[in-house]
A and B are shown apart, each in its own frame.
Chain A
Amino acid sequence: MSSPKIWRQRIERYRLLGQKCKDCGKVLFPKRLVCSECGGREFDKEPMPEVGKIITYTTVYFGPKFLEQDIPYILAIIELKNGVRITTQVVDTEPKEVKAGKEVKFVFRKLKDEGKTGVIIYGYKAQLC
Chain B
Amino acid sequence: MREVCIIGAGLTRFKEHWSSSLRDLFVEAALKAIDDAKVSEIASMYVGSMSSGLFVEQEHIGPMLVEYLGVKNVPAVRVESACASGSLAFRMGFIEVASGLSDIVLVSGVEKMTDCEDVTSALAAAADVENEVFFGATFPALYALIARAHMDSYGTTREQLAAVSVKNHKNGAKNPDAQFQREVSLDAVLNSVMIADPLTILQCSPISDGAAVMILAPLDMAKKMTDKVVKITGSGAATDTIALHSRKEIASLDAVRLSAERAYNMARKKPEDIDVCEVHDCFSIAELVAIEELGFVKKGKSGKFVEEGNTEIGGKIPINTSGGLKAKGHPVGATGIAQIIEIYKQLTGNAGERQVKDAKIGMTQNMGGTGASSVVHIMEVV
Contacts and interface: CB of A to CB of B under 8 A. Distances in A.
A73 B138 CA distance: 12
Given A64-B120, A64-B136, A87-B244, A58 B131 contact: no
Contact of A75 (B124, B141, B243): B141
B135 A89 contact: yes
Given A57-B148, A75-B135, A95 B245 contact: no
Nearest to B197: A59
Interface in B136-175: 136-138, 140-141, 144-149, 152
Interface string B8-20: 0000000000000
B137 A75 contact: yes
A120 to B, nearest CB: 14
B322 to A, nearest CB: 26
A107 interface: no
Interface in B224-258: 241, 243-246, 250
B250 A111 contact: no
B194 interface: yes
Nearest to B150: A56
A34 interface: no
The A interface is mostly helix, strand or loop, or mixed, namely strand
Interface residues of B, number: 34
A89 B138 CA distance: 12
Given A60-B196, A61-B194, A73 B136 contact: yes
A58 B145 contact: yes
A58 B136 CA distance: 11
Contacts of B250: 55-56, 77
Given A62-B140, A75-B145, A87-B244, A56 B135 contact: no
Interface in B158-200: 193-198
A63 B197 contact: no
A9 interface: yes
Contacts of B198: 58
Contacts of A127: none
Closest 5 pairs between A and B when the two form their complex, measured CB to CB:
A58-B144, A85-B245, A56-B149, A77-B245, A59-B197
Interface of A: 1, 9, 30, 36, 55-65, 67, 70, 73, 75-77, 85-89, 95, 100, 111-112, 123, 125
Given A60-B140, A60-B195, A62-B140, 13 more contacts: A36-B246, A58-B145, A61-B196, A63-B141, A64-B120, A64-B138, A65-B118, A75-B196, A86-B245, A87-B132, A87-B137, A89-B136, A123-B135
